[in-house]
Structure 1
Amino acid sequence: MYEEFFGLRENPFLLTPDPAYLYLSQQHQEAIDHITYGVTQRKGFVMITGDVGVGKTTLCRFILQRLEPTVETALIFDPVLTEEELLHMICQEFSIAIPSKTKTKREYLEILYGFLLEKYQAGKNTVLIIDEAQKLSHHLLEELRLLSNLETDKEKLLQIVLLGQEELNAMIRMYSLRQINQRITVRYHLKHLSRYEVPLYIQHRLTIAGLPPGEDFFTPAAYRLVYKYTGGNPRLINALCDRAFLIAYTFDRREISRRIVKEAAGDLGEAYLNPFIWGRHRKMRLLRRMMERV
């Protein structure tokens, strides 16, 4: 809606995980390096965790586009499945022909093992990526551990990359899951962007959307307020900036000021943005009301 007004080809702040818009902060690059190392060195398990909205799914799609042709991948987005459904979906994602009579877990494992061994002998690496891995049941995590046992005398046949929210860390540390926890030797935790990275992140997305290098719509105070309201969470930054651009467009202004960011934050509301900031604002409002009554 506002793209043409600001001279952009497309909306730079959509919430969809478009890998073209991935901002490679130092920690995002480190996460990619961890995944690349775990896959190429056949470490069996890699685990990447982070808060909601830090860019795990976008990172996943970015990596899928850049893996070597010798890497076969299977991607599962929502692993709320039974054990048989998980194995069936893995086979489907690897484009493995499944006989119609296949029903038991043992039959699926035999088919999958034959496929993995065939790819290994052909000099290929196979990678299973599971997004939203915090939704995995304990039974499915144990099933994945058993899948990681498919190996030759020297190397793992299947590399498993788990992408999940912070709860995944707590799950993995449970005593009942200690066997899989001990096998995850490559792991990384994605944090929010720093106050210095937020302007770079916003400028990166605007540049990808068509903004000429060197141009900027935000005032320094506006950048600071974006960080204050979002805590550096990329998804929240996108939502807040999208609303700020819409407000600026409505008022025929090409500058995103502190006032516009504040109005955009008010539109989104305290339930959406940084709870800590809004919680502090709520306390201040209550304090003012109490003082007014005195």
Structure 2
Amino acid sequence: MYESYFDLKEKPFSLTPDPEFLFLSESHQKALDHLLYGLESGEGFIVVTGDIGVGKTTVCRALLSRLSDRFTTSLIVNPLLTEKELVRAVLEDFGGVPPPGTKKDILDALNRFLLAEAETGKRPVLIVDEAQNLPPGLLEQVRLLSNLETEKRKLLQIVLIGQNELKEKLSLPALRQLNQRVTVRSEIRPLSQKETARYIDHRLGVAGGGGRTLLSPGAEGAIYRRAVGVPRLINMLCDRAFLSAYLRASAKVEREDVRRASESLAAPGGAARRVLRWVPWVAAPLAILCGLLAAYGRIF
């Protein structure tokens, strides 16, 4: 709705992942470097954590686009499976054909597939997204997959990507063996205030708004304070704030537009409220956003 008003060629703050809008903060780049190093070095388990909305999927997609042809990947994005279903899904996503039968039958087929890949010089990588949702028993099954090996090397490298609860889960005594096999760990943090401004400018530039000042300094500062550097929240706030500026027929987004956007998103059932309740490290900003937004708006 506001795109044509601001002379933009597309929505700059869509929540749908789009490689054209890729922006890597220092924390994103560090996590990506750790992933690439771990995979190139043939390390065992690699774990990447971060709270909801900070860009874990962004890093995962960046990783997939940067891996060389030597790697083949299986990406599991819905880990709420039984052990048999998980093994089947892994083999299918690699491009293999699971046989009918028991879990052992499918494991044997996966082992044959991985051996064939190794013989051609390929290096299979299993990536499990939202890994914090895996119960301990399923995480143990993932660990057992890492036992598939030749005399020289592992047949399968495994990357676990999840929210910070994953770190707590891996510290459980029942998962001690898995935790000991993790050789590379990285945590994605929220954007800094400067990175938030660069992130907004980058997305506007890709959408056709480069070289123009479409947000006042006060608006950018308010977005950072309210979104606490979480890219998903930044997108949501910016989208609503640009809509507010459009409805006011304003040439740029002002702090008042950000306040209105915050109130809209923090209303009962609002999307930001649903996201923020899972972000434990923003307790104070959450209280401001979801409990005192009206007062906050009057202050700022």
Residue number in structure 1 paired with 2:280: none
Aligned residue for 1:153, secondary structure, equals coil
Pick from 212, 222, 241: which aligns with 2:219?
A: 222
Aligned residue for 2:229, secondary structure, equals coil
Pick from 89, 112, 115: which aligns with 1:114?
A: 112
Aligned residue for 1:30, secondary structure, equals helix
Deviation at 1:283, TM superposition (A): 6.7
Unmatched runs of 5 consecutive residues or more in structure 1: 287-294
Larger radius of gyration: 1
Task: Output the CA distance in 1 between the equivalents of 2:31 and 2:10.
Answer: 28
Deviation at 1:253, TM superposition (A): 1.3
Q: Is contact 2:263–2:293 with CA below 8 Å preserved after alignment?
A: no
Pick from 266, 269, 292: which aligns with 2:266?
A: 269
Pick from 220, 236, 244: which aligns with 1:239?
A: 236
Provide the TM-score with structure 1 as the length reference. 0.91
Task: Output the CA distance in 2 between the equivalents of 1:18 and 1:285.
Answer: 34
Residue number in structure 2 paired with 1:25: 25
Matched, 1:195 2:193: yes
Deviation at 1:31, TM superposition (A): 0.7
- Runs of 4+ in structure 1 over 3 Å off: 280-286
Residue number in structure 2 paired with 1:279: 287
Q: How does 1:197-212 map to 2 (within 5 A)?
A: 197-212=195-210
Provide the TM-score with structure 2 as the length reference. 0.89
Q: How does 1:149-160 map to 2 (within 5 A)?
A: 149-160=147-158
Aligned residue for 2:35, secondary structure, equals helix
Residue number in structure 2 paired with 1:290: none
Residue number in structure 2 paired with 1:291: none
Q: How does 1:28-177 map to 2 (within 5 A)?
A: 28-99=28-99, 102-177=100-175
Deviation at 1:19, TM superposition (A): 2.8
Task: Output the CA distance in 2 between the equivalents of 1:278 and 1:121.
Answer: 53
Task: Output the CA distance in 2 between the equivalents of 1:283 and 1:263.
Answer: 13
Counterpart AA for 1:253: S
- Tell me: CA distance 1:249–1:283, structure 2 relative to 1, closer, same or farther (3 Å): closer
Aligned residues: percent identity?
47
Q: Is contact 1:244–1:264 with CA below 8 Å preserved after alignment?
A: yes
User: For the aligned residues, what is the CA RMSD?
Assistant: 1.8
Q: How many aligned positions are there?
A: 283
Point out the more displaced range, 258-267 or 176-185.
258-267
CA deviation map 1:129-155 (0-9, x unaligned): 111100111111101111111112232
